[in-house]
C-alpha cells in the first residue's frame, strides 16, 4: 500500500467519525403530482432513484443511469469489509426496468456500480452498459461481453465531439464526455485508479470498485424522423472545467434538462457555475443529493454530509439562465418535461 493509499484510508477513518454530520434537508423537494388530464405524448419523464440513478422515458423508449439501492453503512464500505449488493432491497425498491435498453455509468465507485451487475442480470435483462474501460473490465465477470461498451475511445475530449452511440431501438442515442470526479474531502479522493485488465470476479470490497475515467453524457431521445425530441445532460460527479463541458455539436439543438451533482461541489472551482454556463438548460435537476450511507429508502432523506446545500443553491441560482429553474427531486419521484425542458407541474 503506497503513501497516497494510506493517507486516503486514514481520511476515510476520520470520515467514519463524521457519520452524524449529515444535514437536515431544508430545501423544497419535488413530489409526484396528480394530473387531471393525461400527459401529452411528447412528454419526457425522469424518475429519480437516488444517488446517481434515474430512469428516463420517452414514448416507450427507456434508458437508465446506474442505480444505487443497497447503500451500505460507511463503516462497511472500506477496504477490509466484504461488500455486496442487497438483492432484497433492490427487488423491493427498483421500479420495472425490463424495457431499459441502455444503462449509463459515469464512474466506477461502489455507490454507482455495486448494484449494477444484479440489476442487469435480474431486472434490466435487455440493457447494454456504457462506461469507461475500467467499468467495462469490472463488469466482465458478470455480464456477457456483447452487452458491455467501453467509451474511452469514442468520448468527446474538450472541444472535440465524441461519437454517438445508439440504443437498440434507434430512438435514443448518447455521447460520452470526458469528465472529472471532484475530490471527496480536503482535496483528496478516497477511491481512485483504474483497472487495466478484465477481472475474473467482481470486486469484494468498496475500494475494489475503481473510479476509472469519469464520464458525463449527452442523451438525445429521437423522433421517427430522427429529429431530436429532448436533449439531456447527465453527470454523476462534480467536475473541474473544462472537463465535463459539452462540446459544440453543430446541430442547433441546446440542452433541455441538465442533471447536476451537488456532492463534493466545494472541492473544485467553478461548480456548478461552469456547467450551467455551458449547458444553458431550461431545467436543472439536482441528483446525488441525499445522504445515502445506510439511508432508509422509505423514510425521510437528509442532505449529503459535509455539503453546504444553501451555498450550492445560492451559487446555482446566481447563474441560472433567464427563465430557467431547478428542482430537487424526492426519492422515487417522477418529473415530467415538455419539449424544450419545461417542467410540467
Q: What are the boundaries of each domain within the chain?
A: 3-35+46-337
How high is the mean pLDDT of the chain? Answer: 85
Strand bridging mode 283-286 / 100-104: unpaired
Considering all CA atoms of the chain, what is the largest pairwise distance in Å, rounded to the nearest integer? 61
Interval 130-162: pLDDT, tens: 999 999 999 999 999 999 999 999 999 988 999
Q: Which three cell numbers stand for residue 270?
A: 467553478
With b for 16 or more beta-carbon neighbours within 10 A and e for fewer, the 279-305 pattern comes to: bebbbbbbbbbbbbbebebeeebbbbb
Distances (CA, A) of 212 to 65, 81, 130, 179, 204: 17, 21, 13, 11, 17
User: Is the predicted pLDDT of residue 43 greater than 60, yes or no?
Assistant: yes
CB-based contact 54:102 (threshold 8 Å): no
241 Cβ partners below 8 Å, 6+ apart? 269, 270, 271, 274, 275, 278
Is 219 in contact with 231 (CB distance < 8 Å)?
A: yes
The verdict on pTM exceeding 0.85 is yes
Pick the CATH number of 3-35+46-337 from 3.30.160.270, 3.40.50.2300, 3.40.1210.10, 3.60.15.10: 3.60.15.10
Mean pLDDT of 231-258: 95
What is the model's pLDDT at position 28? 52
Of 52, 105, 114, 53, which Cα lies nearest the Cα of 83? 114
Q: Which residue has better confidence, 308 or 231?
A: 231
Residue 3: what pLDDT? 43
Lowest mean pLDDT of 68-72, 199-203, 252-256, name the range.
68-72
Q: What residue has cell string 471532484?
A: 182
pLDDT at 164 (0 to 100): 98
Task: Tell me the percentage of the chain whose pLDDT exceeds 70.
Answer: 81
What is the distance between the terminal CA atoms of the chain, rounded to a whole angstrom?
A: 53
Check pLDDT > 90 for residue 340.
yes
Q: Which pLDDT band holds residue 4 (cuts at 50, 70, 90)?
A: very low
**With 60 as the cut, is the pLDDT of residue 289 above it?**
yes
The Cα–Cα gap between 236 and 211 comes to: 12
The yes-or-no verdict on residue 179 having pLDDT over 50 is yes
Closest CA to 254 of 272, 226, 228: 228
Query: Is residue 5's pLDDT more than 50?
Result: no
Burial state string for 197-233 with b = 16 or more CB within 10 A and e = fewer than 16: eeeeebbebbbbbbbbbbbbbbbbbbeeeeebbbbbb
Distance separating alpha carbons of residues 14 and 34, to the nearest angstrom: 45
Q: Which residue has the higher pLDDT, 286 or 289?
A: 286
pLDDT tens digits, one per residue of 44-99: 999 999 888 999 999 999 999 999 888 665 555 556 777 888 899 999 999 999 99
Does the structure show a pLDDT above 90 at 29?
A: no
CB burial of 89-115 (b: ≥16 within 10 Å; e: otherwise) equals ebeebbeebeebbbbbbbbbbbbbbbb
- pLDDT tens across 327-337, in order? 999 888 999 99
CA distance 310 to 27: 8
- What average pLDDT score do residues 8-23 get? 39
Query: Which range among 11-15, 17-21, 234-238 shows the weakest confidence by mean pLDDT?
Result: 17-21
Region 311-321: what's the mean pLDDT?
94
Of the candidates 300, 297, 313, which has an alpha carbon nearest to the alpha carbon of residue 94? 297
Confidence (pLDDT) at 9 = 44
CB 108 within 8 A of CB 199: no
Amino acid at each position: 500500500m503506497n503513501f497516497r493509499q494510506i493517507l486516503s484510508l486514514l481520511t476515510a477513518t476520520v470520515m467514519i467519525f463524521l457519520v452524524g454530520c449529515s444535514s437536515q434537508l431544508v430545501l423544497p423537494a419535488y413530489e409526484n403530482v396528480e394530473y387531471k388530464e393525461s400527459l401529452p405524448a411528447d412528454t419526457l419523464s425522469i424518475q429519480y432513484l437516488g444517488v446517481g440513478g434515474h430512469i428516463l422515458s420517452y414514448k416507450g423508449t427507456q434508458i437508465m443511469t446506474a442505480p444505487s439501492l443497497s447503500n451500505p453503512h460507511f463503516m462497511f464500505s472500506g477496504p477490509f469489509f466484504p461488500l455486496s449488493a442487497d438483492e432484497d432491497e433492490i427487488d423491493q425498491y427498483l421500479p420495472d426496468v425490463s424495457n431499459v435498453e441502455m444503462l449509463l455509468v459515469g464512474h466506477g465507485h461502489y455507490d454507482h456500480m455495486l448494484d449494477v451487475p444484479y440489476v442487469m442480470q435480474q431486472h434490466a435483462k435487455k440493457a447494454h452498459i456504457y462506461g469507461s474501460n475500467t467499468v467495462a473490465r469490472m463488469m466482465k465477470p458478470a455480464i456477457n461481453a456483447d452487452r458491455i461498451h467501453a467509451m474511452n475511445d469514442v468520448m468527446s475530449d474538450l472541444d472535440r465531439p465524441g461519437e454517438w452511440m445508439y440504443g437498440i431501438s434507434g430512438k435514443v442515442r448518447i455521447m460520452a464526455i470526458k469528465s472529472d470526479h471532484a475530490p471527496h474531502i480536503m482535496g483528496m479522493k478516497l477511491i481512485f485508479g483504474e483497472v487495466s485488465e478484465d477481472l475474473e470476479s467482481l470486486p469484494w470490497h468498496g475500494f475494489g470498485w475503481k473510479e476509472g475515467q469519469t464520464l458525463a453524457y449527452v442523451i438525445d431521445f429521437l423522433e421517427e424522423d430522427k429529429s431530436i425530441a429532448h436533449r439531456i445532460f447527465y453527470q454523476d460527479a462534480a467536475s473541474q472545467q473544462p472537463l465535463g463541458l459539452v462540446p459544440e455539436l453543430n446541430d442547433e439543438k441546446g440542452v433541455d434538462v441538465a442533471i447536476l451533482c451537488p456532492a463534493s461541489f466545494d472541492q473544485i472551482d467553478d461548480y456548478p457555475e461552469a456547467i450551467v454556463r455551458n449547458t444553458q438548460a431550461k431545467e436543472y435537476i439536482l441528483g446525488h443529493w441525499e445522504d445515502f450511507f445506510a439511508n432508509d429508502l422509505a423514510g425521510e432523506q437528509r442532505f449529503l454530509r459535509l455539503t453546504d446545500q444553501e451555498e450550492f443553491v445560492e451559487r446555482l441560482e446566481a447563474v441560472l439562465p433567464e427563465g430557467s429553474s431547478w428542482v430537487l427531486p424526492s426519492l422515487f419521484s417522477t418529473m415530467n418535461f415538455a419539449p424544450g425542458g419545461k417542467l410540467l407541474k
